[in-house]
Chains A and B, each alone.
Chain A
Amino acid sequence: MTISAKANAIWAYANPKKFLAASERVLPFFWISSGLCLVVGLTWGFFFTPDDYRQGSTVKIIYLHVPAALLAINTWFMMLVASLIWLIRRHHVSVLAARAAAPVGVVMTVIALVTGAIWGQPMWGTWWAWDPRLTSFLILFLFYLGYIALWEAIENPDAAADLTSVLCLVGSVFAVLSRYAVNFWNQGLHQGASVMRIEAVTGADTQEKVSNVFFFPLLICIVGFVLLFVALVLYRTGTEIRARRFRALLARERAGA
């Protein structure tokens, strides 16, 4: 009984009206806290951390690069979950959230690629290399473009929701497949995972870890980016809902006149 009540509590926000009311209540919190985290994290990162002994001050681009890259991937994952919810439970808010998240994901992917290029130029001596991680991000960027273009191209909103959701599903499988194919195809320059490893945080592994000096401001930046992402998606979803209502009202008026 309690479980079903709890489940209902989440699904209640599938009602656009309730969603709008709730998101408007929490949005200021997300805006302010993300702004706070970003200001603190970036200031700490840029001005109060030492230069890396090999990379100099170039290392500080990490505070933009890593959070953006993290979100670029997880935005697609969020879109996948939202698309599945739409396909299974037919909640309009869910698919509109996926639509609202896609441009945010594109921007994050571009930030990750551009900061990566700026970082790569002094470190590797090249703006671009066909490294597996870089290539996968480029492919991810193409997937985002296709998803957004399909949304824009279809006029009937329900058909567009269905088609883009299936594309998101199929695209996810192919994106993972591409990741493995690209790994197989070329070994890379980019270092392996070195932020989120338990050994790296506890200090048990000193070889390829991001030093704690850099890690804490980085963590704050990541939290700030995630909060910013949530705020943007909530805000944009609200806009999508209102735009759809507006269109429905216009259509009704035209039909009446």
Chain B
Amino acid sequence: MIALLLRDLKLAFRAGGGFGLGLAFFLILTVLVPFSVGPQSSLLSSIAPGVLWLGALLACLLSLDRLLALDWEDGSLDLLATAPVPLESVVTIKALAHWLTTGLPLVLVAPLLGVLLNLPVAGFFWLVISLLLGTPALSVIGTFGAALTVGLKRGGLLLSLLVLPLYVPTLIFGAEVARRGAAGMETTTPLLMLAGITAAVIALLPFASAAVLRVNLR
């Protein structure tokens, strides 16, 4: 399993792996926001937590269709399915690799982009905390979506249509933490809900992902 994780990480970091694509997308989206809503710093600072969360979510979504499709095309997914490792842990490792190469970098650059959007000082800590807790859920849910659509030729758009409604609870609680934190309010309740969603999703969803992957590999 560790070998699989290292392999996925290596593939992501090498040329053509698409590492950094999500980061660039996040940066561009954040730069475009002031152009569309205007440069008033008070307006920007009030929408900054929500925009950063939405940007991180979309950047996550962007890299989902490569998550399993490349392994599907070259046949290594079939090998993984017949390997003596349960498919549930394979998809969990896949999600972990996706988070390490997409989610974690997004968490790390989010404060820098927060400066661009004039995020209030109190908000930085809560933005990082909420993204750190929330992005693993985005990766795991996204892996489920990728497993559903892996066999399809034009699965990319369908993948977004399926995954975006599933992202709603995570986005609501995650952005709520960041917003309340930026406004200097109490954040405990949404923070606990966000952590609960992430924990539950990591515990349960790999079984569903593995089940649909088995159907697709049949």
Contacts and interface: CB of A to CB of B under 8 A. Distances in A.
A195 B39 CA distance: 49
B158 A149 contact: yes
B9 interface: no
A150 B211 contact: no
A177 interface: yes
A150 B158 contact: yes
Interface string B152-170: 1011001001101110110
Given A162-B215, A169-B208, A170-B205, A181 B165 contact: no
Interface string A145-185: 11001100110000100110011011100100110111011
Q: Which of the listed residues B148, B152, B189 has the most CB atoms from chain A within 10 Å of its own CB? A: B148
Nearest to A141: B165
Nearest to B152: A153
B173 A181 contact: yes
For chain A, which range describes its interface: under 10, 10 to 19, 20 to 34, or 35 or more residues? 20 to 34
B166 A163 contact: no
A143 interface: yes
Contact of B168 (A146, A162, A167, A174): A174
B65 interface: no
Contact of B165 (A142, A150, A154, A180): A142
Nearest to B171: A181
A245 to B, nearest CB: 23
Nearest to B176: A185
Contacts of B158: 149-150, 153
A139 interface: yes
A154 B208 CA distance: 18
Nearest to A173: B204
Contact of B162 (A150, A154, A177, A181): A150
Contacts of B211: 166
Contacts of A181: 168-169, 172-173, 193
B29 interface: no
B156 to A, nearest CB: 11
Q: Which of the listed residues B166, B216, B218 has the most CB atoms from chain A within 10 Å of its own CB? A: B166
The list of the 7 closest CB pairs from A to B, nearest first, reads A181-B169, A181-B172, A142-B165, A177-B169, A162-B215, A146-B162, A178-B168
6 contacts: A145-B161, A149-B158, A150-B148, A153-B155, A181-B168, A182-B172
Interface of A: 139, 142-143, 145-146, 149-150, 153-154, 159, 162-163, 166-167, 169-171, 174, 177-178, 180-182, 184-185
